[in-house]
Chains A and B, each alone.
Chain A
């Protein structure tokens, strides 16, 4: 066999071996979560961070007073009206965490109500020292309701795509149903379609 043919065969075999072998995500590094990484055109953690940052700064700048010191807020429905799956719990948790850390708001734990009720029942059942047992009737009532809506609009022509998100947050006084604060964050992302392999 001619040397040229041997070399060609060797290169082709090596090429084929590289193409058909199994591949897996085995090479990883830790990355800065605040660095923008737009790997695809879907709602990303960076969008969530931008929305949360705007809302936290805006809400913390208000001077909403509570009847007994700091206002007590409960997190209500976070509506996702986009066509994508967006974990709104992640967004509301981030906003709530930062607002609590700001020292300007207190939050009622709505998510844990079921567990708290079960614990009350247990502690009132006689197993726990009556002097230390916790029970219903002492919870702090929420004064404000925090809700949000996320909407989106997509424009796509040829290789170009524009994605627009708008997040609107509002704080409602539970006694008067007045909206005492509201703000919105607009995000527009531009994409160009490109090849990802051959």
Chain B
């Protein structure tokens, strides 16, 4: 990921974060007759669905190979859409610096909310594209814990195990990274 791409992502995130949350003010029963029509009210949580962005930073460590273990810095971003407060679809990009490997992935996330913590599991499928060499398909199950800072921001730790299906063998990566989720 070059500097200009990173800058664009940061600007988009900042712009989305500044957009007002569409919480929808609940109606009232002490207004004029009929003023309650069309107004609902659910005092817990936000709207049914909302977008989020999750910039992440951590480490990616390849399993032992003929050339030995290799670790590298990892950074990336996930963009997702959460429904019902517990189910999300998300797409992501990650880059492992030492291996010069880009990871493009799509998948889902399921949350269990135990305020102020959110435990979740993720399942992603993706394209693993090194700068040199062939691209491969892989799967990446994972799990993580977030701490809810407020309605819009969560900070957390995430672990993913990548299974990269190459022509001759399967390679694995352990990804451990911290993320900061912004909800819109």
Contact = CB atoms under 8 A, between A and B. Distances in A.
Chains A and B come from one and the same complex: yes
A32 to B, nearest CB: 8
Interface residues of A, number: 31
A198 B12 CA distance: 32
Contacts of B6: none
B84 A7 contact: no
Interface in A56-73: 57
6 contacts: A11-B144, A11-B145, A19-B112, A38-B42, A46-B41, A198-B112
A53 B61 CA distance: 66
Nearest to B39: A36
Contacts, number: 84
B86 A3 contact: no
A84 interface: no
B61 A36 contact: no
Interface residues of B, number: 33
Interface of B: 26-30, 33, 36, 39-43, 48, 61, 63, 84, 86-87, 110, 112, 114-115, 117, 119, 121, 143-145, 159, 161, 172, 174, 176
Contacts of A7: 159, 174, 176
A54 interface: yes
Interface in A8-28: 8, 11-12, 14-15, 18-19, 21, 23, 27
Contacts of B43: 31, 35, 37, 39
Contacts of A85: none
A46 B29 contact: yes
Given A3-B61, A198-B110, 5 more contacts: A7-B176, A8-B143, A8-B161, A35-B41, A46-B41
Contacts of B28: 32, 34-36
A34 B30 CA distance: 6
A35 B43 CA distance: 9
A88 B174 CA distance: 62
A31 B110 CA distance: 30
